[in-house]
Amino acid sequence: MFEQNFKVMDKINEISKLGEFGLIDKLTSGFEIKNSSTKKGIGDDAAVLNYEKKQTVVTTDLLIEGVHFNLAYVPLKHLGYKSVAVNLSDICAMNAVPKQITVSIAVSNRFSVVALEELYEGIKLACKFYSVDLIGGDTTSSSKGLLISVTAIGEADADKIVYRNTAKVNDLICVSGNLGGAYAGLQLLERENEIFKHNPKMQPNLSEYNYIVGRQLKPEARTDIVKLLDGINILPTSMIDISDGLSSELFHICKQSGVGCKIFEDKIPIDEQTKLFASELSIVPAIFAMNGGEDYELLFTVKQEEFGKIEPLQDISIIGHTVKDKETKALITKDGKSVRIEAQGWSSFQ
Ligand code: ADP
Ligand code: MG
């Protein structure tokens, strides 16, 4: 895994030979339009969309090599997939359905055409999996490194869009999936990369930790959770996706909604591999969940009356509830102590 990117990054700059238009053609070939709202995709000065009676939800992210990703251990195909998935996650967090993306890249001459094709293979895989259309973008050069910007567009009925600022007092606080795995995976990859840098003959054995590595390298947007909640007629009172760790996202919902929160350590869903790796580092696993990031699960609140509908769901955990006092942001630990949640301060409850 650690050598993969170097193989495809030969130093010959074939990009200039191909030319900008040749490159765009090569990268964007084989993408199919799947959504009727896409009236015109790639190939004109602008794409044309028609959402008819739905509302449009738009979000964008900029990813910079060395800041947001490290190509020493992130395969380009995974990077392409993840760049799309994290944007679609923001659309899900509005309770909307993603339909289109644009992808813009800036590349230095360190990258070969084959390397960029790898990146676009990942983008294509995500487009296929989530049924979204690639409808445009921009391609330019950078003096150093790779930059990727993805914009995602989605649709929702006006009365179904869910914001961060609408949680009410005594709502149940819920999360999808499990938390902390992506951060654990990142710590593991960083550690193995350091070992590899000092001894390139040492190939890491990550098989014991394949799940957390996957959580870091190939996160998914929870379009399935949006569908699931809709299917059982639950409209969350507020929602956000977990990109920066549970603490930080709880703070956003509480601050914007004008409520406090109380959550329970033993209710936070954490996978076995995350626990195992945390114990290897002598860290309480809940810290990975609270202050790690990039899990891209959904954090949402629902009315208490929905308890009976939510409780049986395998992939959703009720981790606490909102409270009236805005100042209260409490984590009740396994031994019953109440600890103040800090936006990022994870030493506070170790
Ligand atoms: P313009 O000169 O109008 O910016 P371009 O030549 O950059 O047009 O792009 C031509 C077409 O290819 C447009 O539809 C544009 O959206 C699309 N495109 C350009 N770069 C990319 C990219 N990296 N990924 C996807 N589509 C792209
Ligand atoms: Mg352009």
Answer whether residue 166 is part of any domain: no
Same domain, 26 and 155: yes
180 plus 240 within the same structural domain: yes
112 and 221 housed in the same domain: no
Contact between 59 and 87 (Cβ < 8 Å): yes
Of 160, 180, 198, the residue that ends a domain is: 160
The pLDDT value given to residue 347: 39
Q: Do residues 176 and 283 share a domain?
A: yes
Tokens in use for 236? 């969350």
Do 212 and 284 have their domain in common?
A: yes
Contacts of 347 (CB under 8 A, 6+ apart): none
What is the whole-number distance in angstroms between the Cα of residue 269 and the centre of ligand 1? Answer: 42
Extract the tokens encoding 184. 């654990």
Same structural domain, 195 and 150: no
Check whether residue 183 and residue 327 sit in a common domain. yes
**5 in any annotated domain:** no
Q: Which of 32, 248, 21, 35 is nearest to 123 (CA)?
A: 32
**What is the CB neighbour count within 10 angstroms for residue 3?**
10
| Final residue belonging to a domain, choices 133, 160, 187 | 160
Distance, in Å, from the CA atom of 329 to the CA atom of 349, rounded to the nearest integer, reads 13
Task: Report which ligand 1 atom has the smallest distance to the Cα of 103.
Answer: 24
Residue 173's SS3 state is strand
Domains held by the chain: number: 2
The domain boundary residue, chosen from 102, 133, 160: 160
pLDDT of residue 11: 43
> Which tokens sit at 47?
């794409």
Bridge partners for 138 per DSSP: 104
Nearest ligand by distance to the CA of 41: 1
Residue 115 CA, ligand 1 centroid: distance in Å? 19
pTM over 0.75: yes
Overall residue count recorded for the chain in this entry? 350
Q: Which ligand is nearest to the CA of 124?
A: 1
Ligand 1 lining (C-beta closer than 6 Å): 24, 27-28, 42-45, 103-105, 134, 136-139
Residues 189 and 311 in one domain: yes
* Residue 273 covered by a domain: yes
Q: Domain check: are 155 and 245 in the same one?
A: no
Residue 54 is given by DSSP the state S
Q: What is the pLDDT along the chain (350 residues), one digit of tens a residue?
A: 555 555 544 444 578 788 888 999 999 999 999 999 999 999 999 999 999 999 999 999 999 999 999 999 999 999 999 999 999 999 999 999 999 999 999 999 899 999 999 999 999 999 999 999 999 999 999 999 999 999 999 999 999 999 999 999 999 999 999 999 999 999 999 999 999 888 888 777 788 999 999 999 999 999 999 999 999 999 999 999 999 999 999 999 999 999 999 999 999 999 999 999 999 999 999 999 999 999 999 999 999 999 999 999 999 999 999 999 999 999 999 999 999 998 864 433 44
How much is the pLDDT for 2? 56
Cβ neighbors of 349 (< 8 A, separation 6 or more) are: 284, 286, 287, 290, 331, 333, 339
Indicate which residue's Cα is closest to atom 24 of ligand 1: 137
User: Residue 263: which residues within 8 A CB-CB, separation 6 or more?
Assistant: 173, 246, 250, 319, 320, 330, 331, 332, 341
Is the residue at 65 inside a domain?
A: yes
* Domain assignment of residue 84, yes or no: yes
Residue 6 resides in a domain: no
120/215 same-domain check: no
Are 290 and 343 in contact by the 8 Å Cβ rule? The answer is no
Residue 167 covered by a domain:
no
Q: Does 60 map to a domain?
A: yes
Give dist(CA 88, CA 92) in Å, integer.
6
Nearest ligand, CA 104? 1
Which helix (H) or strand (E) element contains residue 274?
helix 272-280
Domain region containing 267: 172-340
Closest protein CA for atom 19 of ligand 1: 138
Question: 143 vs 106, 109, 147, 297, CA distance in Å?
Answer: 9, 8, 11, 35
Q: Do residue 152 and residue 223 come from a single domain?
A: no
83 and 218 in a single domain? The answer is: no
CATH assignment of the domain containing 300: 3.90.650.10
